[in-house]
Amino acid sequence: MIDHLISNAYMVVDQFQKLTDFEFGFNEQSVEWVDGFINRQRERNDFSLESGAKMTSTLGSFLGQCIVICYGGKWEQTPEGWAITFKDGNRAYPFNKTSKHFENGIEDSIYSFFTSIPMIFNKSTKKRKRFWK
């Protein structure tokens, strides 16, 4: 199943790369673009929660794989659903967050979720400088 999630994530990269003018991939800029994509979908006249639910599996896979690549962790099936589990036991639930973004809009933004992970879980993509250096 994990292979299927990762495959979905790469499918999102492949499809959305054609729609962007930057190198779409597993990075913050791409998560921000997908965040806007979800908002634009919600604004469509033909949008329904059902159509959002259909996109949640692929976009949630993309968000989860971005978390794995940018912040570490691994995919894991939990009683609450698929999660990215970090070594310290913290978990992020990309499918739940993607679904909430479709349901509630920007107040449940996947971009703010993604960018808050280093602060909440004390993760970093960069080596920290000592304050005295």
Backbone angles phi, psi at 76, to 5 degrees: -155, 135
CATH for 2-121 (3.40.50, 1.20.120, 1.10.287, 1.10.1740): 1.20.120
Residue type, 127: K
Is pTM beyond 0.75? Reply is yes
Q: Are 39 and 106 in contact (CB under 8 A)?
A: yes
Q: Quick: pLDDT tens for 51-110.
A: 999 999 999 999 999 999 999 999 999 999 999 999 989 999 999 999 999 999 999 999
pLDDT higher than threshold 50 for residue 12: yes
Domain spans in the chain, listed from the N-terminal domain onward: 2-121
The predicted model gives 25-44 an average pLDDT of 98
